[in-house]
């Protein structure tokens, strides 16, 4: 392969100057040009052999053939984009791993980075031997194989899934977006309508609840109102186009869009139609909300409107003043996101952000706001407003109502502090 000619070098230089002029017209070119020049200066202290106008090393020899990777993997240069497993939390049978939200774009979470929460470890289930029992207040009790389930008409929908303890109310709150709300992910789910399966068995009078049980060692059990079961609940067997991974409930899980993640029972083995809830461990001693007067709120199913800025966010750094795009995600268990406001002056004023299409019900919505940072300390934050008109509250507003003993359903605004040097930290830490 030949080296670039003088004409090629001239064209490259002309193209670069044109880009800088265009950038200058958009955001005040001197700042952007300075940022690019700064990046090149930093690169000059390392290896410049692969920089223009040189031909980079990876162009000089054929790459790895496809046959060496039976399942595609990310670039080795992205090796740090992995699930965030808290080092101060013993990872025994009850374990969790968080999605690195600050490293992702768009709204879909890759399967390998989808958050995990387990109460009894991850069972290794043979799909040929797995069964789903449906019994109780039904005309015809049924036992389904996986083949039976897949014979029903399928559907695919994009929904978020979030743990209700995402995050708790007690300090320390965490340093990064993943630390704060990393028990959140979004995927395209494929399966069958739970309503259709219940109709196959025939609901009897008095059927008010469906008790779902998982096939893990903890036999996690939750009670679901029949109204939700007949609305948009799904029995899912695929995620983002491939079969569920074991950590996500392979071969079959329940999915309840907009409800707290603990209710979307993984490794689903039993559905018991009943007149009353079961009052299982996961809805009495756990996943209830202790109020200041000592009473507890139970069955707080919905995940309320929430948002967080993921870029720039905690652990990141702005390398220079000038144009920066503020970007983040918003979601609501009540339906679609109606608007996201962003403040760059510690909540004194707000600007409406642009929502990236598609804006889907009970799915993550990406928002963006162009911002010119002047190099001075700043506090940035976002607040979501969903289609019901509900406005995401501040942490102080939540604590004033719920008190310090509350643990679940923290949907507070999370501000980021930017120092004069560009470092981004949690302003609530």
CB 218 within 8 A of CB 167: no
* Domain assignments of the chain as residue spans, ordered by start: 6-59, 95-297, 306-426
pLDDT digits (tens, 9 = 90+) for 87-133: 766 656 678 899 999 999 999 999 999 999 999 999 999 999 999 99
Residue with tokens 């109606």: 338
What are the pLDDT digits (tens) for 333-385? 999 999 999 999 999 999 999 999 999 999 999 999 999 999 999 999 999 99
28-35: long-range contacts, CB 8 A cutoff, minimum separation 24: 28/322, 28/323, 28/372, 31/320, 31/321, 31/322, 31/323, 32/322, 32/323, 34/320, 34/322, 35/319, 35/320, 35/322
Query: What is the rounded end-to-end Cα distance, in angstroms, of the chain?
Result: 55
Measured in whole angstroms, the distance separating CA 321 from the mean position of its chain's CA atoms is 29
Q: What is the CATH number of domain 95-297?
A: 3.90.420.10
Question: How many other C-beta atoms are found inside a 10 Å radius of the C-beta of residue 168?
Answer: 12
pLDDT tens across 7-46, in order? 333 434 444 444 334 444 444 433 334 444 444 444 445 6
User: What tens digit of pLDDT does each residue of 400-419 get?
Assistant: 998 888 889 999 999 999 99
Tell me: the pLDDT tens digits for 220-265? 999 999 999 999 999 999 999 999 999 999 999 999 999 999 999 9
Report the predicted TM-score, pTM, of the whole model to 2 decimal places. Answer: 0.88
Tell me which of 1.10.510.10, 2.40.30.10, 1.10.10.10, 2.60.40.650 is the CATH number of domain 306-426: 2.60.40.650
The pLDDT-based confidence of 66 (bands split at 50, 70, 90) is: confident
């Amino acid at each position: 392969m030949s080296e670039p000619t003088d004409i090629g070098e001239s064209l490259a230089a002309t193209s670069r100057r044109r880009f800088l002029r265009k950038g200058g017209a958009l955001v005040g070119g001197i700042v952007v040009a300075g940022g690019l020049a700064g990046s090149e200066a930093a690169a000059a202290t390392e290896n410049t052999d692969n920089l223009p106008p040189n031909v980079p090393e990876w162009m000089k020899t054929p790459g790895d053939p496809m046959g060496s990777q039976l399942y595609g993997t990310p670039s080795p240069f992205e090796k740090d984009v992995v699930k965030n497993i808290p080092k101060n939390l013993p990872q025994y049978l009850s374990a969790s791993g968080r999605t690195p939200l600050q490293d992702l774009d768009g709204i879909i979470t890759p399967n390998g980075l989808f958050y995990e929460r387990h109460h009894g470890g991850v069972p290794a289930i043979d799909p040929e031997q797995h069964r789903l029992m449906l019994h109780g207040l039904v005309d015809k009790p049924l036992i389904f194989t996986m083949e039976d389930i897949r014979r029903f008409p399928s559907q695919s929908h994009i929904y978020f899934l979030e743990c209700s303890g995402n995050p708790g109310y007690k300090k320390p709150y965490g340093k990064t977006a993943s630390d704060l709300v990393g028990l959140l992910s979004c995927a395209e789910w494929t399966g069958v309508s739970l309503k259709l399966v219940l109709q196959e068995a025939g609901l009897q009078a008095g059927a008010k609840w469906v008790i779902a049980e998982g096939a893990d060692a903890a036999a996690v059990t939750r009670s679901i109102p029949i109204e939700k079961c007949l609305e948009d609940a799904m029995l899912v067997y695929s995620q983002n186009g491939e079969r569920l991974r074991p950590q996500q409930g392979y071969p079959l899980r329940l999915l309840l869009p907009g409800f707290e993640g603990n209710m979307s029972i993984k490794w689903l083995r039993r559905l018991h139609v009943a007149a009353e809830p079961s009052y299982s461990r996961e809805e009495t001693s756990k996943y209830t909300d202790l109020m200041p007067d000592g009473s507890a709120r139970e069955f707080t199913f919905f995940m309320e409107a929430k948002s967080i800025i993921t870029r720039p966010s905690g652990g990141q750094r702005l390398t220079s003043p000038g144009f920066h795009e503020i970007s983040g995600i918003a979601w609501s268990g009540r339906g679609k996101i109606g608007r996201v406001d962003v403040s760059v002056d510690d909540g004194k004023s707000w600007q409406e952000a642009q929502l990236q299409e598609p804006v889907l019900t009970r799915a993550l919505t990406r928002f963006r706001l162009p911002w010119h940072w002047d190099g001075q300390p700043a506090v940035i934050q976002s607040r979501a407003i969903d289609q019901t008109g509900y406005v995401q509250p501040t942490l102080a507003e939540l604590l004033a109502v719920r008190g310090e003993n509350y643990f679940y359903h923290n949907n507070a605004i999370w501000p980021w502090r930017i120092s004069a040097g560009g470092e981004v930290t949690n302003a609530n830490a």
